[in-house]
Structure 1
Amino acid sequence: MKIYVASSWRNLLQPAIVSMLRSSGHEVYDFKNPAPDNTGFAWREIDGGWDTWTPQQYRAALEHPLAKRGFKHDMDALRGCDACVLVLPSGRSASWEFGWALGQGKIGAVVMFEKCEPELMYLGNPILTSPDELFDWAEFNSANCK
């Protein structure tokens, strides 16, 4: 099964989730390493002062070739995935990716191994609270995805 893992760059659990799913035989997209020659997109590649941008500077930065390349990598992976796993805590981009995937009819699950702020809109998707639940979910959906 092709799985898109959506999370935050700051989430220390994200690399372990990618590893666990890959070790179970799944093809997993890792936004931190989307391709052999690509360590993922970061705003600092465009401008080291990205965190002080005005709305106009942000809008202009979205047109930068590096931003467009990063967006294309992520969107191509989202379009091609069978399932999207949202690893909490996450940020705005991951929430958008998860919602987009669900809107396209992809399978979804939320990984919440630690206490997080509740979110009503996760209703209808499994909340996986341990590695065993994640493995079981992936195995079940992989068998039913074929």
Structure 2
Amino acid sequence: MSRRIYLASSWRNPHQPWMVQLLRDHGHQVYDFRNPPHSTGFKWGDIGLELPCTAEAYRAALLAHPRAAQGFNADFAAMRWADTGLLVLPCGRSAHLELGWMAGAGKRTLILTQDGEEPELMALLADQICISVDEVLSELGR
């Protein structure tokens, strides 16, 4: 069974690129936020925001810059397109917001965690918490 997967993770997660490829190799369609169709992956530098920054600068750049709107719209369209959300830890706040939205939208949600990750109570919102890639592949086949 082929799934449409929104893989939520982090630019800093070294597992993200090979996880995208592995899922595609298993016949799934996977949205890659680093290489979205018709665009490039959004980075804070794209809107001139240097980190750390003030809350005022963050809000102003996020709300006013067309590149921020483009990045958001690309990711959000992919979230709506997907039938499954997969959160690959470690990741940051945006990925958690994405999976939370998907859970609230009634989409299937999985979390892939590993030893050493900080536990999170609200992970119980996900349909399945997987501790290996094999578990993820098995769940996607159901």
TM-score of the pair, normalised by structure 1:
0.89
Aligned: 1:110 with 2:111: yes
SS at match of 2:51: helix
- Residue 91 of structure 1 deviates from its aligned partner by 0.3
Structure 1, gaps ≥5 residues long: 141-146
Counterpart Cα distance in 2 of 1:114 and 1:69: 35
The more displaced of 18-27 and 49-58 is 49-58
- Residue 52 of structure 1 deviates from its aligned partner by 3.5
- Residue 38 of structure 1 deviates from its aligned partner by 2.6
Aligned to 2:54: 54
Counterpart Cα distance in 2 of 1:126 and 1:52: 35
Aligned to 1:80: 81
Aligned to 1:38: 39
Output one character per residue of 1:28-49: Cα deviation in whole Å (capped at 9) or x when no partner.
00100011x53300011121x5
- Residue 54 of structure 1 deviates from its aligned partner by 1.6
Structure 2, gaps ≥5 residues long: none
The letter for the 2-side match of 1:115 is G
Sequence identity (%): 47
SS at match of 1:105: coil
Q: Where does 1:3-14 land on structure 2 (aligned, <5 Å)?
A: 3-14=5-16
Counterpart Cα distance in 2 of 1:25 and 1:90: 25
Runs of 4+ with deviation above 4 angstroms: none
Q: Where does 1:116-131 land on structure 2 (aligned, <5 Å)?
A: 116-124=117-125, 125-131=127-133
Number of residues paired by the alignment?
Answer: 138
Counterpart Cα distance in 1 of 2:51 and 2:130: 33
Output one character per residue of 1:3-33: Cα deviation in whole Å (capped at 9) or x when no partner.
0000111000111211111111111001000
Counterpart Cα distance in 2 of 1:4 and 1:90: 14
Aligned to 1:98: 99
